[in-house]
Amino acid sequence: MSWRNRTDFDGGFPTVKSPNPENAEALQMGIELAKKENADLVVATDPDCDRMGVAVRTAFGETQLLSGNQIGSLLAYYRTKKLFELGVLTKENAARGVIIKTFVTTDLQKAIAEHFGLRCVETLTGFKYIGAKLGKYECALPQDRQKNYVDLSEEETRRLRLEHSSFYVFGGEESFGYSGGDFVRTRTATAPPSCFAKSRPMPGRETKRWLNCWMRFTPSLVITSNETDRLLSKAQEEPPKFNAF
């Protein structure tokens, strides 16, 4: 279901202070409708549909907002698990599969990749770097298959990548941007909502168990302004040293 006054076209976005789903306020009307209709899932995208925010119903009947790291990790796990169930990924070809994340995105996605035998590739912040990796994987294919690559079906390109290069399973950033296919080389919020709905971590115990598991992997870190000043001063006094690589 959708809430009507949020589907009317109005570039002023009068129903929210900010239409960015990274901000909890952007999902508030959807959360209120979910409570009224007893819905388990709330999904919101930004105006150009390249970021997705999510809220789910917990075992206690409350609506829990998820972070970009939580959403991305769940999508990465679901995509990987499903591809193994379908036989697309196997123990024999798992090393060809890759999950791509930025350096500032949670290492839980690295753990998910390791659990399934995939590779986890890290990039600088920005989806253009993830897209660049996908272009690199295409260039690793045999020259004769690169000529008509864009005209091939997903099944054909998937076979080529699993045989000759790297197969992109999932990629994302902590800033609510995700992608689950080589044919889209930037973040998108068109396919992720349906993918998230299919993963079904809700309602009830499954949501609570997953959130509790997440909290064990990602302890909170709070830095005060005074601590920030101290760290900056120390960095200026003793600049960090980096090894060339």
State both tokens at 239.
Answer: 């600049």
d(CA 28, CA 171): 27
Distances (CA, A) of 97 to 113, 163, 216: 9, 11, 27
Answer for the pair 135, 183: CB distance below 8 angstroms, yes or no: no
Label the pairing between strands 167-173 and 119-123: unpaired
- Fold assignment, 69-179: Alpha-D-Glucose-1,6-Bisphosphate; Chain A, domain 3 (3.40.120)
Q: CATH topology of 4-66+200-207 equal to that of 69-179?
A: yes
pLDDT tens, residue by residue, 97-150: 999 999 999 999 999 999 999 999 999 999 999 999 999 999 999 999 888 888
- Fold assignment, 4-66+200-207: Alpha-D-Glucose-1,6-Bisphosphate; Chain A, domain 3 (3.40.120)
* Domain residue limits, the chain: 4-66+200-207, 69-179
pLDDT tens, residue by residue, 145-179: 888 888 999 899 999 999 999 999 999 999 999 99
d(CA 57, CA 234): 44
Q: What is the pLDDT of residue 49?
A: 87
* pLDDT reading at 197 higher than 90: no
- This prediction's pTM: 0.80
Percent of the chain with pLDDT over 70: 82
Among residues 193, 191, 187, 190, the alpha carbon closest in space to that of 173 is found at 187
pLDDT tens, residue by residue, 220-245: 455 555 666 777 777 778 776 654 43
Q: What is the pLDDT of residue 61?
A: 79
Least confident window among 71-80, 84-93, 190-199: 190-199
DSSP 85-150: HTTSS-TTTGGGEEEEEETTS-THHHHHHHHHT-EEEEE-SSHHHHHHHHHHHHHTS-HHHHTTGG
Answer for the pair 41, 30: CB distance below 8 angstroms, yes or no: no
* pLDDT reading at 203 higher than 70: no
d(CA 59, CA 20): 27
